[in-house]
Amino acid sequence: MNNDDPGSRPDTTQAHAQGALRAEVVVMSGDWAARLPNHESLAEKAALAALSGAGRRGTDRAGSGELCVTLADDAALRDLNLRYRGKDKPTNVLAFALAEDAAPGLPEGVPQPLGDVVLSLETLEREAGEQGKSLADHFSHLVVHGVLHLLGHDHQQEGEAEVMEALEARVLAGLGVADPYAAEKQMGGVA
């Protein structure tokens, strides 16, 4: 996500790599360091686990890819949600995938840019409290969720949702995070 307003430049930027997969973490706004001190390492681990767990679908033939996880606040997510989705309210996560041909002809070894995942601190905190989850687990879940959207996964149709949720649960289990859909699955099985 580019923003030419000098007042909204990132506070911190860190890039991480696993082989040819890269995840850059940028803090644009919000008090992430105070509320989730290990936000950068959690974002890196979750993003790379999602890329790996999805079989790196959406990356180039060499299996390389890079993405940006942008950490923001409700004001930023509300603005983006209104601008790109026509919804005048903040949301927890937005994913902005780059078109497959967004960077044609990259030299061999240069990771294919996949897009941006943007998260709101206040919404994540509120949802984690409402759902009785730790902020770290909810954050990891939504990073994985956003990265899977970058790779073309969706949850608009029931079948698509089942596939995406199963993949999220599998990736999160590898991170030591409980299945965020377990309660829904139990309720669905009882009815």
Q: Residue 190: what are its φ and ψ, rounded to 5°?
A: -80, -35
Asked whether residue 191 carries a pLDDT value surpassing 80, the answer given is no
pLDDT tens readout for residues 131-190: 999 999 999 999 999 999 998 888 776 777 888 999 999 999 999 999 998 876 666 644
Ranked by mean pLDDT, which of 26-30, 53-57, 109-113 comes out on top?
26-30
Distance (Å) of CA 50 to CA 29, 44, 59, 65, 164 = 24, 10, 12, 12, 11
pLDDT (average), residues 109-119: 84
Q: What is the pLDDT of residue 10?
A: 43
The answer to whether 150 touches 103, Cβ cutoff 8 Å, is no
Q: What is the pLDDT of residue 95?
A: 95
pLDDT (average), residues 83-100: 92
Domain 8-182 has what CATH class?
alpha beta
pLDDT tens readout for residues 98-111: 866 555 666 666 66
pLDDT (average), residues 74-92: 97
Least confident interval from 26-35, 50-59, 154-163, 177-186: 50-59
